[in-house]
Structure 1
Amino acid sequence: MAADKLSTGTLNQKDLASYLDYHLLGSAAGVQLFDAVRQAWAGTPQEAEFRKLREELSAERKELKALHRSFGHGRNKLKRLGAMAGAVISRLNPLNPTRASGGVGTQLELESLLSALRGKQCMWQILAELAPMDPRLDALRFQELEAQAVAQQRRVERMMNSTAAQRFLASP
């Protein structure tokens, strides 16, 4: 969409509320997945980093909830049920049910975390683009949150790369 259209258009608040609702759904599952990953990495040097990431995501989720409420829309009941189901599935952690910090399941977990963080980055980016259209949207804050999502991705990538040998090298 061209920048001139953005400055003269009005937001479709119903669509924006639905979009934010979907991201709230994903964020609930994401927080649970980060918690499950932290448990899998308990006792490792990475545990503290996963704990910190989970805390950051929890804080961002609260901010997203407040933004959603600022538009006067309640959560979609069906999506809330989906979020609860997603949280349960994340807690069960089908990618790594034994909670091991090695192997294919761990690799898939890390890739899923990266995917969730990338989706969150896209949301903040889109909200920053839409900010000129509504005073409730703070472009600078969304740019900060987008940068934080990029930094979070880099942190997970560093842990993934630095521990890859543990997962894929054969034991002697």
Structure 2
Amino acid sequence: MTGHEHPRPESTSAAVDEQMLEDYLNQHLLGSRPGVPAFRAAADTWEGTPQHAVLARLADGVQASQDDLEELITRLGFRTPVRDRAAGAVAAAGGRLNPVNAVRAKGSGWTQVELDVLTGALQGQSEMWRILERLAPHVPGLDAEEARGLLEQTREYLAEVQRVTDETLLRRFLG
């Protein structure tokens, strides 16, 4: 055991499939890797507008949520496979390239798709925290209150992306 690993807490429930939970958390971590760069890329799209500051702040919040997930994986005594870490680094780099809105246009259909992708990412993250809240009574080291707080925070981020969409929607679609 290295200094970075924590012993796995004893399970209080034989019903908890720890391999399933470990895989689930790692898949969410892997899926979240392009999220922070995608938020930063979206902020770049909106450079010079009030939406830029909102999206840049959300990128920092999404990074903190990702850090929380990494800490949770460690606290539960789970590991992230090397191949997942490598794939996550590649995904993060791809997210910064912004394949959804490569030219950073504010007035194209891609602009809305970019916001839709951010919305979908936050919906997925929200669902993960909701599931973890429900599992908490069965998983030692998993705190329902912490998961509930992260769920609420993610829902606030989602509402902010939806506000950006609503504030800019008519200008884009109605000219």
Q: Which residue of 2 aligns with 1:129?
A: 134
Identity %: 37
| Cα deviation, residue 15, structure 1 | 1.2
Report the count of equivalent residues.
Answer: 164
Q: Which ranges in structure 2 are unaligned for 5 or more consecutive residues?
A: 1-11
Give the alignment partner of residue 39 of structure 1, picking from 44, 49, 54: 44
TM-score in terms of structure 2 length: 0.88
CA distance in 2, matches of 1:100, 1:135: 47
| Cα deviation, residue 85, structure 1 | 2.2
1:152 paired with 2:157, answer yes
1:14 paired with 2:19, answer yes
Aligned 8 A contact 2:13 2:139 in 1: no
Aligned 8 A contact 1:13 1:71 in 2: no
| Cα deviation, residue 9, structure 1 | 4.8
CA distance in 1, matches of 2:14, 2:79: 24
Please tell me the root mean square deviation across aligned C-alpha atoms, in Å: 1.5
Q: Deviations over 1:61-102 (max 9, x none)?
A: 111101001122221222223212221221111110001222
TM-score in terms of structure 1 length: 0.89
Give the alignment partner of residue 113 of structure 2, picking from 98, 101, 108: 108
Partner amino acid for 1:158?
Answer: R
The farther-off stretch of 26-35 and 117-126 is 26-35
CA distance in 2, matches of 1:102, 1:148: 29
Aligned 8 A contact 1:124 1:142 in 2: yes
Give the alignment partner of residue 55 of structure 2, picking from 46, 50, 54: 50
Q: Deviations over 1:37-84 (max 9, x none)?
A: 011111111111111111111111111101001122221222223212
Aligned 8 A contact 2:76 2:142 in 1: no
